[in-house]
């Protein structure tokens, strides 16, 4: 049965979703396993749901059927430890809304917006948030007006990074240092996505900052309703922070706190909160930056970053005084508060 609105028992039943159809399937399974362990450490009951590469939801190997309005397996809250399309993009969030169950993380709109690198950068730009220069390219437009598109991209200078607009974990990204290779890089990115973003090369340190929502008992007037972590600096051996650096043992090192000035550190935390609020996020997010001296540029925002205890987000929160079990517990409490709050509105 659902937890009654306004009620938050000490022990929760949490359904953890992991896997999914995206190229980040294995990363999600690792995140889900860690989330389950953290929840159990807090004394919660966990129900595991694995989403296969075929998109089917399974509980203990058996296909799962659900009905709108009936919740999910009697869980008080759902923790969708899913990354990338078909999980972090608003599709699963929309399904959970129809089931009428509380769930961790961003809602439908913020999830769909944030996973689209072009739309999210357009939104941040409209809000005056400093970013890397970029050009969004739709596949149909490139096929019809390749010369015009290439001229627009050329204004960014070289090198640039070509990325599928809806993927994470550095999947499908290419660094282009020679103009004659641009069309080839775009075609390769279109194999992953019909929308591609081309970003100018940014200099300086790669810095990441976690954002975590505040419970109602912690909020006070004039505060943003969320806290920003101590910023961390990403160190890696290669030319840029690619998939291998992220997921190969020893491929990257997180240094906390980041080796940036106090002024830049304050600016990172302020922009992380501003980006979180601007995107309409809930619960959590990780905001990535480039910091060159006192110049701070937002790179992107992730609504469900990797979630193992050794993932960047978890390490940043631990450095900010929040241990992993308490982190996953708090996220569930935030989800319950949001669900109860939204039930008070008459739509």
Q: Give one DSSP letter per residue of 79-96, joined into a string.
A: EE---STTTSSSHHHHHH
Question: Is residue 306 annotated as part of the catalytic site, yes or no?
Answer: yes
Instruction: Give the pLDDT confidence score for residue 143 in this predicted structure.
Output: 96
The fold of the 13-104 domain, in CATH, is Rossmann fold (3.40.50)
Residue 8 has pLDDT above 70, yes or no: no
Instruction: Give the pLDDT confidence score for residue 6 in this predicted structure.
Output: 46
Q: What tokens appear for 226 in the block? A: 């969320």
Q: Which of 45, 247, 251, 280 is catalytic?
A: 247
- State pLDDT tens for residues 74-95: 999 999 999 989 999 999 999 9
Q: Which of 302, 311, 314, 320 is catalytic?
A: 302
Residue 9 has pLDDT above 70, yes or no: no
Question: Is residue 302 annotated as part of the catalytic site, yes or no?
Answer: yes
Instruction: Give the pLDDT confidence score for residue 167 in this predicted structure.
Output: 80
Q: Which class for 27: exposed (0-12), middle (13-18), buried (19 or more C-beta within 10 A)?
A: buried
Comma-separated ranges of CATH 3.30.470.20 domains in the chain? 112-129+203-303
Where are the alpha helices (H) located in 175-319, listed in sequence order?
182-190, 243-247, 262-278, 312-319
Q: Which class for 129: exposed (0-12), middle (13-18), buried (19 or more C-beta within 10 A)?
A: middle
Question: Is residue 169 annotated as part of the catalytic site, yes or no?
Answer: yes
Instruction: Give the pLDDT confidence score for residue 230 in this predicted structure.
Output: 98
Q: Which of 89, 242, 288, 329 is catalytic?
A: 288
Residue 297 has pLDDT above 70, yes or no: yes
Residue 3 has pLDDT above 50, yes or no: no
Question: Is residue 36 annotated as part of the catalytic site, yes or no?
Answer: no
- State pLDDT tens for residues 163-216: 999 886 466 789 999 999 999 999 999 999 999 999 999 999 999 999 999 999
Q: Which class for 214: exposed (0-12), middle (13-18), buried (19 or more C-beta within 10 A)?
A: middle
Task: Indicate the SS3 state at residue 307.
Answer: coil
Written as one string, the DSSP assignment of 318-344 is HHTT--HHHHHHHHHHHHHHHHHHHTT
Q: Which of 116, 269, 306, 320 is catalytic?
A: 306
Residue 324 has pLDDT above 50, yes or no: yes
Question: Is residue 145 annotated as part of the catalytic site, yes or no?
Answer: no
Report phi then psi at 322, rounded to 5: -120, 110
* Helix, strand, coil shares, percent, the chain, to 5: 35, 25, 40
Residue 318 has pLDDT above 60, yes or no: yes
Q: What tokens appear for 181 in the block? A: 């290779």
Q: What tokens appear for 57 in the block? A: 């939801």
Question: Is residue 286 annotated as part of the catalytic site, yes or no?
Answer: yes
Comma-separated ranges of CATH 3.30.1490.20 domains in the chain? 134-200
Q: Which of 50, 199, 208, 300 is catalytic?
A: 300
Instruction: Give the pLDDT confidence score for residue 71 in this predicted structure.
Output: 98
* Residue 36 and residue 95 in contact, taking contact as beta carbons nearer than 8 Å: no
* Residue 129 and residue 272 in contact, taking contact as beta carbons nearer than 8 Å: no
Tell me which of 3.30.460.90, 3.40.50.11540, 3.30.70.260, 3.30.1490.20 is the CATH number of domain 134-200: 3.30.1490.20
Report phi then psi at 202, rounded to 5: -110, 145
2 confidence band (pLDDT: 50, 70, 90)? very low
Alpha-carbon distances, residue 129 vs 18, 22, 218, 288, 321 (angstroms): 33, 29, 27, 13, 28
CB atoms within 10 A of CB 296: 22
Question: Is residue 288 annotated as part of the catalytic site, yes or no?
Answer: yes
Query: Rounded to an integer, what is the distance from CA 260 to the centroid of its chain?
Result: 24
Q: Which of 31, 111, 169, 311 is catalytic?
A: 169
Instruction: Give the pLDDT confidence score for residue 5 in this predicted structure.
Output: 44
pTM over 0.85: yes
Q: Which of 19, 23, 24, 320 is catalytic?
A: 24
Comma-separated ranges of CATH 3.40.50.20 domains in the chain? 13-104
Question: Is residue 278 annotated as part of the catalytic site, yes or no?
Answer: no
CATH of span 112-129+203-303: 3.30.470.20
């Amino acid at each position: 049965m659902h937890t009654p609105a306004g009620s938050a028992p000490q022990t929760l039943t949490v359904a953890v979703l992991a896997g999914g159809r995206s190229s980040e399937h294995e990363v999600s399974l690792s995140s889900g396993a860690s989330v389950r362990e953290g929840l159990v450490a807090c004394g919660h009951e966990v129900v595991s749901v694995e989403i296969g590469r075929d998109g089917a939801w399974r509980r203990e190997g058996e296909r799962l059927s659900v009905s709108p309005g009936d919740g999910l397996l009697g869980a008080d809250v759902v923790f969708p430890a899913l990354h990338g399309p078909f999980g972090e993009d608003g599709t699963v969030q929309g399904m959970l809304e129809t089931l009428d169950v509380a769930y961790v993380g961003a809602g439908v709109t913020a999830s769909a917006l944030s996973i689209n690198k072009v739309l999210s950068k357009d939104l941040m730009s409209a809000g005056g948030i400093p970013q890397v220069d970029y050009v969004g390219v739709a596949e149909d437009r490139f096929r019809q007006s390749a010369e015009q598109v290439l001229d627009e991209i050329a204004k960014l200078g070289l090198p640039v990074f070509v990325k599928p607009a809806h993927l994470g974990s550095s999947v499908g990204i290419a660094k282009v240092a020679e103009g004659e290779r641009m069309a080839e890089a775009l075609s390769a990115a279109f194999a992953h996505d019909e929308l591609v973003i081309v970003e100018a090369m940014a200099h300086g340190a790669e810095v990441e900052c976690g954002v975590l929502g505040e419970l109602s008992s912690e909020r006070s007037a004039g505060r943003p309703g969320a806290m920003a972590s101590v910023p961390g600096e990403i160190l890696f051996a290669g030319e840029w922070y690619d998939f291998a650096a992220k997921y190969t043992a020893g491929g990257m090192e997180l240094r906390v706190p980041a080796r940036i000035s106090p002024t830049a550190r304050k600016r990172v935390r302020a922009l992380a909160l501003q980006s979180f609020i601007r995107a309409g996020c809930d619960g959590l997010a990780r905001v990535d930056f480039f910091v060159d001296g006192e110049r701070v540029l937002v790179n992107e925002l992730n609504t469900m970053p990797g979630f193992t205890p050794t993932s960047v987000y978890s390490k940043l929160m631990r450095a900010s005084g929040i241990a992993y079990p308490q982190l996953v517990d708090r996220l569930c409490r935030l989800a319950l508060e949001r669900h109860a709050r939204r039930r008070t509105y008459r739509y």
